[in-house]
Structure 1
Amino acid sequence: MKYTILAFALFFFGAVQSQILEPVKWSTSVEKVSNKEYVLVATAIIEPHWHLYSQNVPEDGPVPTVFTFINNGSFLKKGNTSEDKGLTVNDPVFEMQIKYFENKATFRQTVRLKNETPLSINGKVEFMVCDDTRCLPPTEIDLVFTLK
Structure 2
Amino acid sequence: MKKLLLIFAFAISATTFSQIHDPVKWSTSVEKISDTEYELLAIATISGAWHLYSQSVPENGPIPTSFTFEGNSNYLKKGNTKEEEGHTILDPVFEMQIKYFDKKASFKQRIKLKGKKEFNVNAVVEFMVCNDTQCLPPKEVDLVFEIK
> What is the TM-score with the length of structure 1 in the denominator?
0.87
Task: Show the counterpart of 1:39.
Answer: 39
Q: 2:135 corresponds to which residue? A: 135
SS in 2 for 1:137: coil
Q: Secondary structure at the match of 1:15?
A: helix
Deviation string 1:59-86 (CA, Å, 9 cap, x unpaired) is: 1100000001101222111111000100
Q: How does 1:98-113 map to 2 (within 5 A)?
A: 98-113=98-113
Q: How many residues align?
A: 137
| CA distance, structure 1, for counterparts of residue 92 and residue 17 of structure 2 | 29
Give the C-alpha shift of residue 115 in structure 1: 2.3
Q: Percent identity?
A: 60
**AA aligned opposite 1:66:** S
Name whichever of 28-37 and 113-122 sits farther off: 113-122
Structure 1 gaps, min length 5: 1-10
- Written as runs of structure 1 = structure 2, the 5 A alignment for 1:1-148 is 15=15, 19-148=19-148
The DSSP-based 3-state class of the residue aligned with 2:93 is coil
Alpha-carbon offset, residue 113 of structure 1? 1.0
Pair 1:17–1:119, CA change in 2 (3 A):
farther
- CA deviation vs aligned residue, 1:27-67 (integer Å, no higher than 9, x gap): 00000112211000000000020000000000110000000
Deviates most, 113-122 or 15-24? 15-24
TM-score (norm 2): 0.87
3-state DSSP of counterpart to 2:89: strand
> How much does 1:130 deviate?
0.1
